[in-house]
Amino acid sequence: MRYIKEVMSIARYEKRMIGWLIDKLISLGALAGVLTVEILYLPKDFSLFLEILIATIAGYAFYVLTVSLYLFFGNGYTLGMQLMGIRTYHATKDHIRFYEAYLKAMMTGFTAMDLINSIYMLSSHTERSVFDRLTNTLVVDVRAER
C-alpha cells in the first residue's frame, strides 16, 4: 500500500465529488425519462407513490449498471471520473475487478451513504472513502502523474 501512495497521487475530494455528481446527473436523466414514460403511458388513476418508487428504483438500477460496467470495462473510469481526470485502481495497482466495481456502484448509488462517506472523507484527511477501504481500491489523479 505504501508503494501506491508514493508513486500515485490520490485524487482530491473536490475532483471526486464533481465526478460523482456528473455520474449522478446521468442517472437522474434516466429517472426523469422513466417518470416521463410513466406519466404518459400509465393510467391516470395509477398511484403517484408507485410511479415515483418505480422511477427511483429504475434510476438506481441504471446508475449501478452503468457505473459498474464503466468502472470494469473502462479500466477504472466512469464518465464523470474521466472528465475529471481521476481513475480507480486496486490497491495492488491492478485493474479493478468486477465485484469491486459493482460494490462501489451499489454503495455510491445511495445518496444517504454518499453523505456519510463525504463526512468521513472530510474528517479523516486521507482522501480515501469508506467505499475505497471496503473494496481495497484507490482513486488517483491521472493528470497529476503526467
User: What pTM, to 2 d.p., does this model score?
Assistant: 0.78
Q: What's the angle, vertex CA 143, arms to CA 65 and CA 79, rounded to 5?
A: 20
Q: What's the angle, vertex CA 65, arms to CA 20 and CA 128, rounded to 5?
A: 35
Alpha helices in 74-93, H assignment, sequence order: 79-84
What 116-124 contacts at long range (C-beta under 8 Å, 24+ apart), as own/partner pairs, is 118/13, 118/17, 121/13, 121/16, 122/13
The per-residue pLDDT string of the chain (146 residues; one tens digit each, 9 = 90 and over) reads 444 444 467 778 888 889 888 988 888 888 888 888 888 888 888 888 888 888 888 888 888 998 899 889 988 888 888 999 888 888 777 788 888 889 888 888 777 777 777 777 777 766 777 878 888 888 888 877 65
Q: Residue 73: what pLDDT?
A: 92
111: cell is: 445518496
